[in-house]
A and B are shown apart, each in its own frame.
Chain A
Amino acid sequence: MSEMIKITYREALKAGIREALTNDERVFLMGEDVGRYGGAFAVSKGLLQEFGEDRVMDVPLSESGFVGAGIGASLAGMKPIVEVMTVNFGLLPMDQIVNNAATMLHMSGGQINVPVVIRMSCGIGKQLAAQHSHSWEPLFAHIPGLVVLSVGTHEDARGMLHTALEHPDPVIIFEYTSMLNREAEIPADAGPMDISLAKVRREGKDISIITYGIGVHKSMEAAEKLAEQGIDAEVIDLRVLRPLDEKCFLESVVKTHRALLVEEAWGSINVSSEVSARIMEKAFFDLDAPVKRLGGVEVPIPYPLHLENASVPQVDDIVNAVIKILRP
Chain B
Amino acid sequence: MENQKNIEPQKAADLLYQMLLMRKFEEKSAELYTKEKIRGFLHLYIGEEAVATGVIQTLKPEDYILGTYREHAHALARGVDAGAIMAEMYGKQEGCSRGRGGSMHLFDKEKNFFGGNAIVSGHLPMATGMALASKKLKKGNITVCFFGEGAAAEGEFHEALNLASLWKVPVLFVCENNLYAMGTALRYSHSMQELEKKGQAYGIESAAVDGMDLLRVMEAATKAVDLVRSTGNPYLLVCNTYRFRAHSMFDAELYRDKAEVEEWKKRDPIPQFREYLLKENLINEEQIGEMEERLKQEIQKAVDFAEAGTWEPEEDLGKFVYTQNSAS
Contact = CB atoms under 8 A, between A and B. Distances in A.
Interface stretch (A9-17, A102-110, A120-128, A270-278): A102-110
A77 B162 CA distance: 22
Contact of B166 (A54, A60, A106, A111): A60
B130 A66 contact: no
Interface string B95-109: 111111100010111
Contacts of A59: 163
Contacts of A60: 162-163, 166
Contacts of B320: 105-106, 108-110
A62 interface: yes
A28, A74, A105: which has the most chain B beta carbons within 10 Å?
A: A105
Contacts of A62: 159, 162-163
Interface in B73-129: 93, 95-101, 105, 107-109, 114-117, 119, 122-129
A110 B326 contact: yes
Contacts of B131: 72
Contacts of B123: 68, 100
Given A75-B129, A77-B137, A108 B101 contact: yes
Contacts of A49: none
B133 A71 contact: no
Interface string A91-134: 00001100110001111111111000000000000000000000
Given A106-B100, A145-B322, A111 B108 contact: yes
State which size class the interface on B falls in: 35 or more
Nearest to A102: B321
A158 B165 CA distance: 35
State which size class the interface on A falls in: 35 or more
A69 B2 CA distance: 40
B132 interface: yes
A62, A69, A78, A96: which has the most chain B beta carbons within 10 Å?
A: A69
A3 to B, nearest CB: 35
Chain B contact residues: helix, strand, loop or mixed: mixed
Contact of B101 (A69, A75, A107, A145): A107
A68 B162 contact: no
A24 B139 CA distance: 17
Nearest to A59: B163
Given A145-B321, A168-B323, A72 B155 contact: no
B321 A96 contact: no
Contacts of B100: 106-109
Given A72-B129, A95-B122, A169 B323 contact: yes
A69 B119 contact: no
B93, B115, B126, B127: which has the most chain A beta carbons within 10 Å?
A: B126
B129 A68 contact: yes
Interface string B276-320: 000000000000000000000000000000000000000000011
A43 interface: no
B163 A108 contact: no
Interface string A57-90: 0011010111111111111111010000000000
B156 interface: yes
A98 to B, nearest CB: 9
B178 to A, nearest CB: 23
A28, A73, A76: which has the most chain B beta carbons within 10 Å?
A: A76
A104 B320 CA distance: 9
A26 B133 CA distance: 9
A100 B123 CA distance: 8
Interface of A: 26, 28, 54, 59-60, 62, 64-78, 80, 95-96, 99-100, 104-113, 144-145, 147, 168-169, 243
Interface of B: 64, 93, 95-101, 105, 107-109, 114-117, 119, 122-134, 136-137, 139, 143, 155-156, 159-160, 162-163, 166, 319-323, 326, 328
Closest 5 A/B residue pairs (Cβ): A68-B125, A72-B129, A109-B98, A65-B159, A69-B129
17 contacts: A26-B137, A62-B162, A65-B156, A68-B123, A68-B125, A72-B129, A73-B129, A75-B126, A75-B129, A75-B133, A99-B119, A105-B322, A108-B109, A108-B115, A109-B95, A109-B97, A110-B320
Given A65-B156, A109-B99, 4 more contacts: A60-B163, A73-B136, A78-B133, A109-B101
